[in-house]
A and B are shown apart, each in its own frame.
Chain A
Amino acid sequence: MSEASKTTRSGGGSNEDRGIDYRGLALNLCGLVAGIAIGWVLTAGGAVGLPPPPQVASRFIDLIANGQLATDIMSSLARVMTGFLLGVILAIPVGFVMGWYKVARSLIEPYLQFFRMIPPLAIIPLAIVTMGIDETPKVFVIFLASFLASVVATYQGVISVDKTMINAARVLGAKDMTIFLRVIIPASTPFILVGVRIGLGSAWATLVAAELIAAQTGLGFRMQQAQLYYDLPTIFVSLITIGLLGLAMDRILLVIERRLTVWQERV
């Protein structure tokens, strides 16, 4: 037909999705450099009592060289990944069941809404008393944080699937199982991935706080040790590492999310 002009043809993602915004990146970089420069100037005279950037950088090098940073990173990442993966793996099926069966939703929802209001950190004293002070309570708290974030997103995703789309599948002959596998799951994927990202964010935040309270290794623990000795450079190294790792994990999930949802119309 007349609309079939080749110019509008485009098989996959459109250009806005793929293109790199160089101007934006350059500005990001400028802001970063400016920020460090200002920090340098402010701390040079010891004015604000904080370590100047070179001191932090050399501590970074020390901690990398003696392997302590790597150890801390590994133990923090191991905890966060265990808790996070367990949380997400449980949250997705529970979210689907809640979205699909009204009865399940009504049964589970009060608990969910209630626990969502309790900051995961507030569970720590209870977790320590009941689970001891080894890895279990920390992983549990992270698990809880990521579970709660992802389960809500998943079931919101399921209940917001366009009814017309479900009806379209029905009139094409689809039964419940097919609708679930071929419509509900793909249609709610964007929501789930957002939930997973939020879950990872809160898992990471919770982890660091959990390590401040009870741990023998980890980035949070290292900071707390440093605090005892007024070791500001180490605190900065830990803070920067925590931020960078969190950012890296978030970006990785963002890339995965984009990959899995290229079909979405973005406005």
Chain B
Amino acid sequence: MPPRIAPKIVFDKVTRRFDLKDNAFVALDRLSLDIADGEFVTVVGPSGCGKSTALNIAAGLLKPSEGTVLVDGKAVEGPGPERGMIFQQYALFPWLTVRQNVEFGLRIKGEEASRRRQIAERFIDLVGLGDFADALPKTLSGGMKQRCAIARAYAVDPSILLMDEPFGALDALTRVQLQDQLLDTWSRERRTVMFITHDVDEAVYLANRVIVMAARPGRLKEIIDVGLPYPRTEEIRLSVEFMSIRNRVWQAVYHQ
């Protein structure tokens, strides 16, 4: 259960319009949402409902047209290393090896070489890429690329992880492995996670709360408390409780 202290992330009536040729298109309409420190929320909703828009605003990559996003009580002005982001298309730097990719943020932080290497080593091992530290991204499978991207985000030690359909391009088995790995790390380090997905099962399996959004205009539709205990296991995934929550989310998403 999310503790009732000051929220980590606050969306305060966040609206985002995009100017089209003849009219302004409302991608996100007055989204208000509190995310507690250490909470894992997943966001689901039909395509085009503004999920990525909301996440990018929280990341500081996109400016809201109205409203604000507060992180630790301060308005977001731009990107910052305390908010790590993971993209569906991995966005690794293809000219850098796994190790150099993971060290990228550390180098910007100004960490010295030996310390960089040490930190990178730790996170590369954490995501199971120890044998591939000196490989170039083109030699990795999709799952391995995404693990590298996760290690790269962890390395700068963000207190928030913003993930935009990170496992969307992976096969079912790799997906489940990465979900478990993510939950494992999360339960130890308690970063706040905002995780977008198209997959209702994934949304329920991972989250404290599932945020359901609706389209045209993009807006908050419903917040569903999952309330299943962690660690989440195979049994939980197959339990009746899981199924009923899953069905509720499904209804909320697909019968709008």
**Which residue, A168, A171, A173, A178, has most C-beta atoms of chain B within 10 A?**
A171
Which residue in chain A gives the minimum CB-CB distance to B178?
A: A1
| A172 and B93 within 8 A (CB) | no
With contact pairs A171-B85, A172-B104, A265-B138 given, residues A6 and B94 touching in the complex (Cβ less than 8 Å): no
Residues of B within 8 A of A178 (CB): 108
Interface residues of A in 1-44 (CB under 8 A from B): 1-4, 6, 8-12, 14
A164 at the A/B interface (Cβ < 8 Å)? yes
**Contacts known (A4-B132, A173-B80, A263-B138); A164 close to B87, Cβ less than 8 A:** yes
Q: Given A164-B91, A178-B108, A186-B93, do A170 and B135 touch, yes or no (CB 8 Å)? A: no
Render B128-141 as a binary contact track against A, CB cut-off 8 A, 1 for contact: 11111011111101
Chain A contacts for B108, CB-based, 8 A:
172-174, 178
Contact assessment for A3 and B144 in the assembled complex, using a CB-CB cutoff below 8 Å: yes
Q: Which residues of the other chain, B, contact A265 by a CB distance below 8 angstroms?
A: 94, 138
Min CB–CB distance B55 → chain A (angstroms): 11
When A164-B87, A171-B61, A173-B108 are in contact, do A262 and B136 touch as well, CB less than 8 Å?
A: yes
Determine whether A124 belongs to the interface, using a CB cutoff of 8 Å to chain B.
no
Chain A residues lying within 8 Å of B143, measured Cβ to Cβ, are: 3
Interface residues on A, range: 20 to 34
> Is A14 in contact with B139, judged by CB distance below 8 angstroms?
yes
Q: Which of B84, B95, B109, B174 contacts A263 (CB 8 A)?
A: B95
Q: Which residues of A contact B48 (CB under 8 A)?
A: none
Quick check: is A165 within 8 A (CB to CB) of the other chain? yes
B105's nearest neighbour on chain A, judged by CB, is A172
In the complex, the chain A residue whose C-beta lies closest to that of B139 is: A10
| A167:B177 contact, CB within 8 angstroms | no
B132 cross-chain contacts in A, Cβ below 8 A: 4, 9
Judged by a CB distance under 8 angstroms, whether B191 is at the interface is no
Alpha-carbon gap, A3 to B174, bound state (A): 9
Q: B16 interface residue, CB < 8 Å from A?
A: no
Q: Does A264 contact B (CB under 8 A)?
A: yes
A263 and B83 alpha carbons, distance in the complex (Å): 28
A62 located at the interface, meaning its Cβ lies under 8 Å from any Cβ of chain B in the complex: no
Which A166-204 residues have C-beta < 8 A from chain B?
A: 167-174, 178, 182-183, 186-187, 189
Looking at B61, B78, B91, B135, which has the most chain A CB atoms within 10 Å of its CB? B91
- Judge if A231 is at the interface, Cβ distance under 8 Å: no
B177 engages A1 (CB within 8 Å): yes
Choose among A162, A182, A263 the residue with the greatest number of B CB atoms under 10 Å from its CB.
Answer: A263
A164 vs B52: C-alpha distance when bound (angstroms): 12
Interface: B46 (CB within 8 A): no
Q: In whole angstroms, what is the CA distance A102 to B216 when docked?
A: 32
CB-based contact A172/B81 at 8 Å: yes
Contact B104 A4 (CB under 8 A): no
Chain A residues contacting B59 (CB-CB under 8 Å) are 167, 171
Chain B residues with CB under 8 A of A1: 127-128, 147, 177, 181
Measured CB to CB, the closest approach of chain B to A227, in angstroms, equals 49
B152 within 8 A of A: yes
Interface residue B79 (Cβ < 8 Å from any Cβ of A): yes
Residues of B within 8 A of A2 (CB): 177
Interface contact A264-B94, CB-CB below 8 Å:
yes
> Within the assembled complex, what's the spacing in Å between the Cα atoms of A3 and B177?
11
Q: Is B156 an interface residue (CB 8 A)?
A: yes
Which residue of B is nearest A13, CB measured? Answer: B136
- Which residue from chain A places its CB closest to the CB of B158 in the assembled complex? A171
Bound: A34/B136 CA distance, A = 43
B240 to chain A, nearest CB (A): 30
List residues of chain B with CB within 8 A of the CB of A173.
Answer: 79-81, 105, 108-109, 156
A167→B104 contact, CB < 8 A: no
Complex formed: what's the CA distance from A2 to B105 in Å? 27
Chain B residue contacts of A162, Cβ below 8 A:
91
Sorted nearest first, the 6 A-B pairs with minimum C-beta distance are A1-B128, A172-B105, A168-B91, A173-B81, A171-B85, A263-B95
Known contacts A172-B156, A186-B93, then 20 further A-B pairs from the complex at CB < 8 Å, ordered by chain A residue: A1-B177, A3-B143, A4-B131, A4-B132, A11-B135, A162-B91, A164-B91, A168-B87, A168-B91, A171-B79, A171-B81, A171-B84, A173-B80, A173-B81, A173-B156, A174-B108, A189-B95, A263-B95, A263-B137, A263-B138
12 pairs from A and B in contact (CB 8 Å cutoff): A1-B127, A4-B131, A4-B132, A6-B131, A9-B132, A162-B91, A169-B93, A171-B60, A171-B85, A171-B153, A174-B108, A262-B136
